[in-house]
């Protein structure tokens, strides 16, 4: 199941690969400039009817000229099948792109991080045919941010640091420092990083701490229930019903688009012309899980025969 932590790990490393600095330092490489990192397809699906998808796949070229792939997986707890799946990802990507592969696991608690480090072996008797050893980005490998100026210089790493240290006893102090460090950002940058962090903290107690530090602004992540989104919808509720319906419709469309689902003109019109707030709420809930945009309306057509205008 795709969780909020998976989503943020996917977003932060694709949009801000500089957050991988600790990985390059550990390997003895000079971190590449952003333009030297290329996002590749994470699809590792075979012709067989079995889908396998890595969270994020990046192609990196270091300043020394070493080219390799970075496969990023967010892991919030132990999973019995991950060793086999990760071995498959590495083998498949190695064969497909003819480049060495570094598997990076992002973990926010020490026990999961210790497990994720492996090794995971394909063993027969005393012989290991294949061994998978992920590089773990967790509490012991990602440094805490202790300087406000560091937040301004490396916002991606600061955000990642707060996420992986979210189970730490001093997380409240970490978040307070992060909030102070964001004061130097322009408004749009503050909104982006603060909300990305809130989504990444998912269901941890640290999320509520961060919500207390956030400003009430319009959401970048519709459908995720962040403080920004709630403020936006609350504000709309005080206005005309038409305005509220428009806001919710925009949220539904945004969720579908962020998930990469095709939105036809017919689907877009049906959503934007609907004025039934209850139905729009149902569609907003379903937008995060449906496989096709048209599936939002399946229950409507079966149960109520709801027309195009809602």
DSSP class per residue in 165-179: TTTSTTHHHHHHHHH
pLDDT in tens, the chain (310 residues): 445 555 666 567 777 777 878 887 887 877 766 546 666 655 555 544 444 567 788 899 888 888 999 999 988 889 988 999 999 999 999 999 999 999 999 998 899 999 999 999 998 888 999 999 999 999 999 999 888 888 888 999 999 999 999 988 889 999 989 988 887 887 778 888 888 888 888 888 998 888 878 754 345 565 666 666 665 556 555 555 566 788 888 888 888 887 888 999 999 999 999 988 888 888 988 888 888 999 988 765 444 444 444 4
Find out whether 104 and 20 touch, Cβ atoms under 8 Å: yes
Q: Which residues of 130-153 are buried (b: 16+ CB within 10 A; e: fewer)?
A: eebebbbbbbebbebbeebebbee
Region label for 225, one of left (φ > 0), alpha (ψ between -120 and 50) or beta (otherwise): left
> Residue 96, Cα to own-chain centre: how many angstroms?
25
Q: Does the model's pTM come out above 0.75?
A: no
Question: DSSP state, 104?
Answer: E
């Amino acid at each position: 199941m795709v969780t909020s932590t998976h989503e943020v790990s996917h977003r932060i490393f694709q949009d801000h690969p500089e957050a991988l600095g600790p990985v390059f330092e550990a390997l003895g490489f000079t971190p590449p400039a952003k333009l030297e990192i290329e996002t590749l397809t994470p699809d590792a699906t075979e012709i067989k009817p079995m889908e396998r998808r890595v969270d994020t796949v990046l192609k990196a070229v270091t300043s020394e000229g070493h080219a390799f792939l970075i496969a990023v997986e967010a892991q919030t707890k132990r999973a019995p099948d991950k060793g086999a799946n990760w071995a498959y990802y590495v083998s498949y990507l190695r064969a497909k792109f003819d480049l060495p592969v570094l598997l990076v696991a992002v973990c926010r608690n020490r026990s999961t991080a210790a497990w994720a480090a492996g090794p995971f072996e394909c063993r027969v008797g005393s012989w290991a045919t294949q061994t998978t050893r992920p590089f773990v980005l967790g509490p012991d490998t990602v440094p805490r941010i202790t300087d406000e100026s560091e937040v301004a210089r490396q916002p991606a790493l600061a955000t990642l640091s707060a996420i992986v240290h979210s189970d730490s006893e001093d997380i409240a102090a970490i978040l307070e420092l992060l909030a102070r460090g964001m004061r130097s950002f322009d408004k749009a940058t503050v909104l982006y990083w603060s909300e990305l962090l809130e989504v990444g903290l998912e269901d941890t107690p640290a999320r509520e701490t961060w919500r207390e530090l956030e400003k009430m602004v319009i959401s970048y992540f519709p459908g995720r229930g962040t403080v920004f989104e709630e403020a936006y919808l609350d504000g709309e509720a005080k206005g005309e019903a038409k305005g509220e319906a428009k806001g919710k419709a925009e949220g539904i469309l945004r969720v579908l688009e962020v998930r990469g689902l095709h939105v036809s003109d017919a689907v877009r019109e049906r959503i934007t012309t609907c004025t039934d707030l209850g139905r729009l709420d149902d569609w907003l809930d379903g937008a995060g899980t449906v496989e096709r945009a048209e599936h939002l309306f399946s229950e409507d057509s079966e149960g109520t025969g709801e027309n195009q205008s809602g």
